[in-house]
């Protein structure tokens, strides 16, 4: 799949779905400062997400152009949020600010369950930042 960072959930326990409820795929291009900022911010955020609920992967569009084309990626950075039985959410452009990115992920229905300071979400909301 051309990813360089994947968080795979542990084997499913009895009664727990075998795949995460949310899949985040960040599409980046080499040499882009915005893509490097997004990669850094989302990798930091992903460390605090529950891997049983959220799968995070990074796709370099130059290494896997077919996957980028399959997802309709024409601009980087782009984050695709796929949730079971819900419409896909696409976030394009600046994803380097942790507060704004956390707020946008929360609005997109990503379960932010570990290590997320709720005040970060309030700060972003007060700035009028949205998904």
In a domain, 131, yes or no: no
**Which CATH number characterizes residue 96's domain?**
3.40.30.10
- Report which of residues 82 and 128 the model is more confident about: 82
pTM: 0.74
How many structural domains comprise the chain?
1
37-50 mean pLDDT: 92
Q: Which domain holds residue 64?
A: 3-126
What percent of the chain has pLDDT above 90?
Answer: 52
73 pLDDT above the threshold of 50:
yes
Q: What would the DSSP string read from start to end of the chain?
A: --EEEE-PPPPPPTTS-SS-SEEEEEEE-TT-HHHHHHHHHHHHHHHTS-TTTEEEEEEETTT-HHHHHHTT--SSSEEEEEETTS--EEEES----HHHHHHHHHHTT----SS--HHHHHHHHHTT---
pLDDT band at 12 (very low <50, low <70, confident <90, very high): very low
Residue 87 within a domain: yes
């Amino acid at each position: 799949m051309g990813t360089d960072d994947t968080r795979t959930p542990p084997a499913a326990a009895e009664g727990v779905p075998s795949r995460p409820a949310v899949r985040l795929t960040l599409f980046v291009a080499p040499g882009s400062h915005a893509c490097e900022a997004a990669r850094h911010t989302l990798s930091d955020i992903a460390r605090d997400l529950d891997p049983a609920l959220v799968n995070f992967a990074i796709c370099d569009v130059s290494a896997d152009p077919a996957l980028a084309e399959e997802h309709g990626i024409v601009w980087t950075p782009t984050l695709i949020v796929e949730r079971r039985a819900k419409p896909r959410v696409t976030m394009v452009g600046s994803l380097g600010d942790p507060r704004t990115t956390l707020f946008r992920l929360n609005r997109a229905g990503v379960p932010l369950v570990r290590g997320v300071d709720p005040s970060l979400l309030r700060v972003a909301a007060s700035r009028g930042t949205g998904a």
